[in-house]
Amino acid sequence: MNEAYLERKASLMEFSHLSPDEAFDSFHKRISHYESIYEPLSKERNLILVDSFEGCILQEQISDVIPYHDRIRDIITTRIVSNLFLLRHGETYFNLEDRIGGDSDLTEKGLSQARALAEYFAGVPIPIIFTSNYKRTLQTAAAIAEKQHECSIIALPEFNEIHAGLCEGMTYKEIREKMPHVANARNRNKFSYVYPMGEGYATMEKRVHRGLHKVFYLSNYNDNIMIVGHRAVNRMILSDFVFRPKEEVPYIYMPQNRYYHLQIDHYKKHFELKSFMRGAEANLPA
Ligand code: G3H
């Protein structure tokens, strides 16, 4: 054991009742005791090495018949989600023109969708709403937060919408006409395709995953969690919980007038697309 390390430990407040020599002595005794009882992991007959951050098993060595082994494995690797509300921002001026990217404001209809969300979730305590850095998610979240008792908004760059590079601000029609090679290549493999000077679903995967880690860490793993995101980002978030073949992820249905409710525990993985609008509007496709 490094002496400098022991010196630093011995100077902590909790050892202030001991002289430096006594603190050193007490540490050395403790270390000798640990050494005398230590059993190296290599001698273990049964061992599961876990990455608790990622919730996955790194190494498994089971020599005996362990009762409920499958169950233990399941408990270690299941991320418990009490309630995750995955929302898309309300309608924007860019949405009206079928334009991608940019940092557009909500339209009147978008603001009324945000108000409808606020009413709908008014009785559900949401301590934190996670958004991207874009105005459309922040404006939607601000309306919801206004109807909550205590609610903060945390914007995560990891949840920014897919960056369309040279195609930012263009409509899908303009891309087809002016950059047909982009439209065709994207059509052939939408998941792997990366926009020139921009991103693709595949290249967003890591950052979205990192964003989710922040969400769980900041919300203490057990609160009602709300994310107000974007079409492509929300598809990636959903696919983090519910397995979909990669080629299907860019086509997951992600409307603006409904939201996904996810609940995951050791017994079930439940996800449901729910409406928050009232009356006839609730059934309109978005
Ligand atoms: O602005 C980008 C779009 O919301 C992403 O949708 O991947 O289906 O083109 P897309």
For the stretch 111-166, pLDDT in tens is 999 999 999 999 999 999 999 999 999 999 999 999 999 999 999 999 999 999 99
The domain defined by 81-283 folds into Rossmann fold (3.40.50)
DSSP tally for the chain: helices H, then strands E: 10, 8
- Domains in the chain: boundaries: 2-77, 81-283
User: CA 49, CA 76: separation in Å to the nearest integer?
Assistant: 10
Model confidence at 249: pLDDT above 70: yes
Task: Report how far ligand 1's centroid is from the alpha carbon of 231 (Å).
Answer: 6
pLDDT for 252-272, tens place per residue?
999 999 999 999 988 888 999
Distance between Cα 121 and ligand 1 center (Å) = 26
Q: Which atom of ligand 1 is nearest to the CA of 101?
A: 1
pLDDT at 284 over 80: no
Residue 115 CA to ligand 1 center (angstroms) comes to: 24
Cβ atoms of 129 and 151 closer than 8 Å? yes
Which atom belonging to ligand 1 lies closest to the Cα atom of 100? 1
* Ligand 1 pocket: which of 96, 167, 230, 249 to mutate (most atoms within 8 A of CB): 230
Tokens representing 142 are 């601000």
Ligand 1 mutation target, pool 162, 237, 249, most atoms within 8 A of CB: 162
> Among positive and negative, which fits the CA dihedral 207, 130, 157, 93?
positive
Q: Which of 161, 231, 234, 247 has most ligand 1 atoms within 8 Å of its beta carbon, as the pocket-test mutant?
A: 231
Report the atom number in ligand 1 closest to the C-alpha of 162.
2
DSSP assignment letter at 40: -
Any residues with Cβ below 6 Å from ligand 1, and which? 100-101, 161-162, 230-232, 250
Look-up of token digits 């169950």: 71
Q: Whose CA is nearest to atom 6 of ligand 1?
A: 232
Q: Which residues contact 203 (CB under 8 A, 6 or more apart)?
A: 194
**CA proximity to 130, closest of 150, 154, 147:** 154
pLDDT band at 191 (very low <50, low <70, confident <90, very high): very high
**What's the 161 CA to ligand 1 centre distance in angstroms?**
8
Of the listed ranges 160-174, 209-223, 258-272, the least confidently predicted one is 209-223
Q: Beta strands of the chain (E only): which ranges?
A: 46-51, 56-62, 81-88, 128-131, 152-155, 224-229, 258-264, 269-275
**CA–CA distance, 90 with 95 (Å, rounded to integer):** 9
Q: How far apart are CA 211 and CA 233, in angstroms?
A: 10
Cβ neighbours, 10 Å, residue 208: 23
Cα distance between residue 30 and residue 34, in whole Å: 6
Q: Which residues contact 211 (CB under 8 A, 6 or more apart)?
A: 130, 156, 158, 159, 237
Q: How far is the CA of 172 from the centre of ligand 1 (A)?
A: 9
What is the whole-number distance in angstroms between the Cα of residue 250 and the centre of ligand 1?
8
* pLDDT value of residue 221: 63
Q: Whose CA is nearest to atom 4 of ligand 1?
A: 231
CA-closest residue to ligand 1 atom 5: 232
The distance of Cα 198 from the centroid of its chain, to the nearest Å, equals: 22
The tokens for 282 are: 């609730």
- Is residue 281 a contact partner of residue 257, using CB atoms and an 8 Å limit? yes
